[in-house]
Amino acid sequence: MAAENWQDVCATSDIPEDDVIAQTVGDQEIALYEVEGSYFATDNLCTHGQARLSEGFLEDGEIECPLHQGRFCVKSGKAMCAPLTEDIRAYPVKISGDRVWVDLG
């Protein structure tokens, strides 16, 4: 099992309500989401076309890839429809004060 690797990535106010942003942590780019008051983090690249998910559309807890309209669940990273065949990685998130922490471990 990978060790925990909690990283302070941004303020909660940096993520617009019901939207997505990209953040680079070290050499890794992740997508951060706020959905109905909860925060989530996933890889930022689509497994199908390598498009940046942070440039996609967030709706009903799913991020739609801007390239081929495949959707991923932001809570689990699960690929929800064609043309996607591979999930993305979802990361644990915790809020401390007004900061968003992501476990990249």
The per-residue pLDDT for range 26-74, each reduced to its tens digit, is 889 999 999 999 999 999 999 988 899 999 999 999 999 999 999 999 9
Beta bridge partners of 30: 23, 43
Which of these, 21, 69, 72, lies nearest to 9 by C-alpha position? 21
Residue 82 binned pLDDT confidence (cut-offs 50, 70, 90) = very high
Neighbours of 95 (CB within 10 A): 11
Which string of DSSP letters, residue by residue, matches 20-31?
EEEEEETTEEEE
| CA neighbor of 39 nearest in space, from 98, 100, 97, 87 | 100
**What are the two backbone dihedrals, phi and then psi, of residue 87, each rounded to the nearest 5 degrees?**
-70, 165
Could you give all domains of the chain from N- to C-terminal order, each with its CATH number? 6-103 (2.102.10.10)
Q: Does position 2 have pLDDT exceeding 80, yes or no?
A: no
**pLDDT score, position 46:** 95
Its pTM surpasses 0.95: no
